[in-house]
Structure 1
Amino acid sequence: MFGLGKRTSFDVPCTVEIEQTSETLHAHVVLDGDIEIGPGDEVLVHDAPTHVDFGERLVVRRTATVVRAGLLDKIRARFEGYRELTELYEVSFSTGRVQ
């Protein structure tokens, strides 16, 4: 059971892009290097901007802390993902009319 809940973390530089225009509204974080984020992992961007005015695009460099999930966190994240996915499968064959 040793190490089942153990979480490790490290800091990495990243690029944050936020855009709010009539064509798009998005926020993206791109971590430097070839870092793969898996189920249950967390990424915390330090001093991340939270607002951009309409019609503007903001690109900034920041530092992010990546927290790797322990084994139990990975299992829980996968289970919750499957559970939420199955909710999308729920289909009703009723006419939709209330009688």
Structure 2
Amino acid sequence: MEIERNADTFYANAIPEGIALRPGDRVLVHGAPDHVAFGEHVVFQTRATVIRANALERWWTEWVAIFELTELYHCGFEPKEAA
């Protein structure tokens, strides 16, 4: 697990080793710190539980992701309004 908190970045990234994640799967991290100080970057190993999505959850996640992607297109190419 990797956690970073500073003026430019605030993120947590947990990727299980040796397990392929699919759309809709959830990762429950055990033993993660409840606080990271400002300006700190922490990398550590911990245990995690992967909760697999069923077929309907995978389909729904992929379907919703398509609409979220098209929303980015919509916002990125709108003409500017004249003032």
Q: Map of 1:14-53 to 2, 5 A cutoff? A: 16-21=1-6, 24-33=9-18, 35-53=19-37
Q: CA RMSD in A?
A: 2.1
1:66 maps onto 2:50 in alignment: yes
**What is the identity percentage for the equivalent residue pairs of Structure 1 and Structure 2?**
42
> Unpaired segments of 5 or more residues in structure 2?
none
Aligned amino acid, residue 52 of structure 1? V
Aligned amino acid, residue 16 of structure 2? L
Deviations 1:31-53 (A, max 9, x none): 122x1111111111123223211
> Unpaired segments of 5 or more residues in structure 1?
1-15
Q: In structure 2, how many angstroms separate the alpha carbons of the residues matched to 1:23 and 1:81?
A: 26
Q: How many residues align?
A: 81
Larger radius of gyration: 1
More strand by share: 1
More helix by share: 2
1:82 maps onto 2:66 in alignment: yes
Tell me the TM-score normalised to structure 1 length: 0.66
Specify which structure has the bigger relative contact order, considering alpha-carbon pairs within 8 angstroms and separated by 6 or more residues. Answer: 1
